[in-house]
Structure 1
């Protein structure tokens, strides 16, 4: 396979993790190309906050300051059970440059990353999909389709995506951050293994007329978890875990009923909603993070519940790790670092998903923590060493085995 090529790495997927991967590579002088099959950036998103660790990473690229001005800082996470406040976690204990969560639309983060990429003369190629990969010891040949919408149907008009043209490119490596339904992962035949039961949530975004609290609030109910996020623009967001049998999009009456049952302390009562939806979240981990010269990152590798926003935030760190290892390999450093990336990624997610290792509760931990410590872990918006420091405030211990590798 020819090594005479315009780009060294192809990134598939222009969500936060794909954009971060491309930016980390470009900053290291790697010639990178990034594709996204969708025709525009995200408008609605469920990942709405950045962990302190993610902000430190973004600071390396000069992005944290401006993003912080566009978001809402939350300094605490409070835990409730119906009408009782059980305890809280204070981010000030991190003694970090960013001792808070930053509530920020995913689309805002993506726009900032995309603009930074333009400084390196890297443009996201929207409406482009990687169709097939053929690799050998020298590189990867990728078949790419440029997509367009075509009008179909009579007498009722409709539109579908169609392939406008195809092309083939040769690159040294591919990084696929193409999400939960990753076509790249499927094409490699990598199994996306289940680790625990799926969760279904009703999500409501609504006008919030009260004074915005500087904290995220988690309600630990019997067999269900609910979470409130204060967000910018006088809005709030509630997510309620519900029975898997639910199939209909909920309305305002259901919203009020759930609030009365699970968070009777919440006020003022919402009078309307901007939007609502029902969404399912799985707990999964790919059995491999890649094969040969094609590697996976972000939701293509792992999926978990939405409360702690761990999948996207840990994925941002993975982007930096795989970019460093690829840059090293391209500069003659060998491919040993890629094996380290896989080991680090899988070790951390085994802990976060409760497969092995992970946090434990002290004998002095409050009863609500001791009752089910495994339930607490995916609720905490934190990762890496920060997660251990945050958990220690409620009587839990965690020292990530993968931290030194990441």
Structure 2
């Protein structure tokens, strides 16, 4: 009996030891990482996958470009595709526009040319006819002095030649009109870069004549002539002016210097634009200015300030005055005041196709003593062309 009792106690002890050992083994097994197995693995057996903590997963998504610190694959984040900047437009060649623009000008000025030819081709040219010729020229905004000069010259030639042949009358009138328009004036509008700095052009004018649009079109003209251009948005009073100018520039790959602050000092913006042009070694810097009424003394003084500030680092080589041809003689008053403040060197005449008053070209040139260099004959981006005296007169008489 004692022997059986001893055997039972031994069995119970063995079972207890085995139970405690098994429990301890299971506990150690649960605490081990899932991928700690280091024994041989079949090549087709995939590697164990570790589970990311929530914080780690969030960091990977917010920084998709950063390299992961472990060999684990980062979550895929779909990013928007980068869009390429649109290719710059190629402006129409400058001199290729003249034929098309001449046709438009001829249509808009038929009253002047055809009226004069009809009067001069009559069998009898008496004082009444000369009065009509004079009235036609005055209505075309030729101006009093140029009108009298032209009438006197025509009177003399008709008296001497006595011809009524339509072609001869046409040639005679063309010659006299060409003298008034003056083809000898320097109308160069494509300046050359100075040795150590760009050529600087200021563009001025009253409100509503389309200065910013004109500068945008001029940029296209210069780019078409293979010039490296930079624009300066010194019209800081009109909220949309800078963005409008930048849009024009972007279309042909021309940069624009502008201020992010509404109402910034325009002279400061102009100064920075010229400095950028010097640093970037561009050919031409064009400065847009705010439209101003010619009778506002403060605004006109500010225009002079812009010019003086620019000249601290470069000369202002050209001051172009933008005029609306449809304003007629009122444009002459504007031109005189601007010329006194900033020494206007050339005229850009817009909307010449919207008026039969082609004589304004002669009147402005006579008043200021400076040439019309560019004319606008439409709303298209390439509807700005160099002014050509002979083409203009031919269009009047076409």
Relative to the length of structure 1, the TM-score reads 0.25
The structure, 1 or 2, with the larger RCO (C-alpha pairs under 8 Å, 6+ apart) is 2
Q: Which has the larger radius of gyration?
A: 2
Considering fraction of residues, name the structure with more strand.
Answer: 1
Q: TM-score, normalised by structure 2?
A: 0.26
In terms of fraction of residues, the more helix-rich structure is 2
